[in-house]
Amino acid sequence: MARHLATLFALLIGSTLAACGSGTPAPPAPEDEPLKIVCTTGMIADAVARVAGDRAHVVTLIGPGVDPHLYTPTRSDVAHLMSADVVFYNGLLLEGKMTDALVRAATSGRQVFAVTELIDETELLAPEDFAGHYDPHVWMDPPAWSRTVEVVRDRLNELDPDTRTTYATNAAAYLAEVDALDAYAEVVLKSVPEHARVLVTAHDAFNYFGRRYDYEVVGIQGISTESEAGVRDIERLIDLMVERDVPAVFVESTVSRRNVSALVDGASARGHTARIGGELYSDAMGPPGTYEGTYIGMIDHNVTTIARALGGEAPEHGMHGRLTHAAGDGP
């Protein structure tokens, strides 16, 4: 945990606080009132809502189609943070522009926790071009993301020990679903011919996915969408697509498709036909109220879309037949 705290707070105040939520902790909600839990992203909120159940009212700050790398908190967001019983954030600089607001909440007595605090540093990726920081996109590796569920369960147990049995039961059920998702992903992604296991996307959000399922991952932009792709980057990827006979590339729901379209057009000018294989959910989930608007549905959509577009075998409506659209048809 200290690793995440040092990164978060040192950026703003030049020193490391010993623990998030230092100061006088906010008292737990009365037994007959739900906890107010604020989460920065939908993936975190989904885990929290599943573990907490009826015991919490969960607020998500960064919604579908919104890029957390570029997101600046609004006055409403700050108000939510300052009135929360608990705040959960990624902890690996995903929400970089929210640092000030998170620090303010922590130093004002809110309970603020990084959901990645239990992931060992040896499991984290540290790309050379990411200024010495870790890649925050850990939700792309379901077993790694399971560790965040454990953090949510344990922190809620500390705050609300009378409900710990419910939290344990809910967490176990959710973790079983994540395990089933991972097993499905392994099967359908291995159905793609080995030479075709090249995933070209709008930005480098899928490196944990690539490591878990043995895919070569190439993003047009870097880990953060604050980085810009240049002409040389596009040309380099066109060369790769032509040389490796890449059949499909993918757009993302939170990133402009302009650069991906340029890849397809550039490859076509070189005599290589590639198509946009579908839209993937990278930094945000699908619309609220849909299957893709859950963590399980988000990853199911991605896995199914990737496998089918690259020549593998997967049911067009995903693991449980619940995908809103046939994989590859778009959200």
Q: What is the pLDDT of residues 269-295, one digit of tens each?
A: 999 989 999 999 999 999 999 999 999
pLDDT value of residue 284: 92
Q: Looking at 11-15, 85-89, 210-214, 226-230, which range is the least confident one?
A: 11-15
Query: How many structural domains compose the chain?
Result: 2
The H-assigned helical ranges of the chain are 2-13, 42-52, 75-82, 99-107, 142-159, 164-190, 207-213, 231-244, 258-269, 295-309
154 and 232 inside one domain: no
Q: Is residue 331 part of a domain?
A: no
302 and 196 inside one domain: yes
34 and 105 inside one domain: yes
Q: Which domain holds residue 57?
A: 2-179
pLDDT value of residue 330: 58
176: which 2 tokens?
């079983």
Question: Is the pLDDT assigned to residue 256 strictly greater than 90?
Answer: no
Percentage of the chain lying above the pLDDT 90 cut: 70
Q: Is residue 321 part of a domain?
A: no
171 and 203 inside one domain: no
Question: Is the pLDDT assigned to residue 219 strictly greater than 60?
Answer: yes
Q: What are the residues whose beta carbons fall under 8 Å from the beta carbon of 237, sequence distance 6 or more?
A: 200, 218, 220, 263
Q: How many CB atoms lie within 10 A of CB 9?
A: 21
Strand 35-41 and strand 111-114: pairing?
unpaired
Please tell me whether residue 203 adopts helix, strand or coil conformation.
strand
What average pLDDT is seen over the chain? Answer: 87
Q: Looking at 43-52, 90-99, 201-210, 320-329, which range is the least confident one?
A: 320-329
- Compute the average pLDDT of residues 306-314: 97
16 and 46 inside one domain: yes
134 and 20 inside one domain: yes
pLDDT value of residue 121: 93
Round to whole Å and give the CA distance between 159 and 164. 9
pLDDT value of residue 30: 55
- Among 134, 156, 179, give the residue marking a domain's end: 179
pLDDT value of residue 8: 47
Q: Is residue 328 part of a domain?
A: no
Q: Which residue has the higher pLDDT, 145 or 254?
A: 145
295 and 218 inside one domain: yes
110 and 225 inside one domain: no
Round to whole Å and give the CA distance between 206 and 204. 6
Instruction: Give the up-direction half-sphere exposure of residue 53: CA atoms within 13 A in the CB hemisphere.
Output: 14
The CATH number assigned to the domain holding 43 equals: 3.40.50.1980
164 and 240 inside one domain: no
Question: Is the pLDDT assigned to residue 22 strictly greater than 60?
Answer: no
45: which 2 tokens?
């909120």
Q: Looking at 68-77, 125-134, 288-297, which range is the least confident one?
A: 125-134
Round to whole Å and give the CA distance between 198 and 273. 15
Q: Looking at 26-30, 91-95, 173-177, 312-316, which range is the least confident one?
A: 26-30
pLDDT value of residue 142: 98
97 and 208 inside one domain: no
pLDDT value of residue 96: 86
- Compute the average pLDDT of residues 77-81: 97
pLDDT value of residue 263: 87
155 and 55 inside one domain: yes
Label residue 168 left, alpha or beta by phi (over 0 means left) and psi (-120 to 50 means alpha). Answer: alpha
Q: Is residue 280 part of a domain?
A: yes
pLDDT value of residue 128: 77
Q: Is residue 326 part of a domain?
A: no
pLDDT value of residue 5: 45
Q: Is residue 319 part of a domain?
A: no
Q: Which residue has the higher pLDDT, 329 or 327?
A: 327
Q: Is residue 264 part of a domain?
A: yes
